[in-house]
Amino acid sequence: MTPSMMKIVKAGFGLIAMAGFLSACETLPADASTAPQANAPLKTAAASAGKTSPSGLPFSPVVEAGGVLYIAGHLGRNSVTREYAPSIGLQTAQTLQNIDATLKTVGSGLSDVVRCQVFMTDISNFAEMNRAYRQYFPQNPPARTTVEVSGLAAPNALIEIECTAVRK
C-alpha cells in the first residue's frame, strides 16, 4: 500500500490515525471544544463516499502519537486469499507479515517494534509460535507478553498480535 492510498486523519489533540485504502485527508480542530465527539462520524471525502476501514470495523490499523506507533491486533489471515493457515507457526508468520505490511504504510517496519502482545487460543502451541516469531525478530527482540485466551474475533484464528513501535 502506498502513502497515497492511506487516509490520514488529524483528530483533536494532535493524534494521527492511519486507515489504509483511503486517500482522503482532512484536518480537524485540535481545540477540545470543537474536537469530534465520541461516536461522531468524521467528515472526510472517503466517509461521504461510503468507504470504511479495510476491515470495515471501527478501529485504525495503526495510530501514531508523539512518534510512537500503536499497531492494532493483527490475525494470521492471508490478505489475498482471506484464509487462515492450519497451524500456529504459519499463522504467526502471516500475522507478523501483516504487521510489517501495516508498518510499511507509515514508513516503519518490524525493526522499529519495541513491544508485542501475543494472544493465543492454545498456550500448548507456545514453542511452535516462538519458533516462527523468532524468525521475524532474530536479534534484539522486542519486549513481549504472551497469554492464552478463550477465543479471538475470527473463528479460525489461533493467534492475534498487537505491537508498539517507535520511529528511529
Interval 130-149: pLDDT, tens: 999 999 999 999 999 999 99
Look at residue 72 in the predicted model and tell me its pLDDT. Answer: 95
pLDDT at 32 over 70: no
On whether the CB atoms of residues 28 and 42 are closer than 8 A, the answer is: yes
pLDDT reported for residue 55:
65
Position with higher pLDDT, 108 vs 51: 108
- Inform me whether the pLDDT recorded for 8 exceeds 60: no
162 pLDDT exceeds 70? yes
pLDDT the model gives residue 127: 98
At residue 110, what are phi and psi to the nearest 5 degrees? Answer: -60, -25
Q: How many angstroms separate the Cα of 71 from the Cα of each of 95, 119, 125?
A: 12, 14, 24
pLDDT for position 93: 98
Dihedrals φ, ψ of 4, to 5°?
-70, -15
Is the model's pLDDT at 52 over the cut of 90? no
All domains of the chain in start order, with CATH: 3-48 (no CATH), 64-166 (3.30.1330.40)
At 57-100, the pLDDT tens digits run 788 899 999 999 999 999 999 989 999 999 999 999 999 999 99
Which residue type sits at 25?
A: C
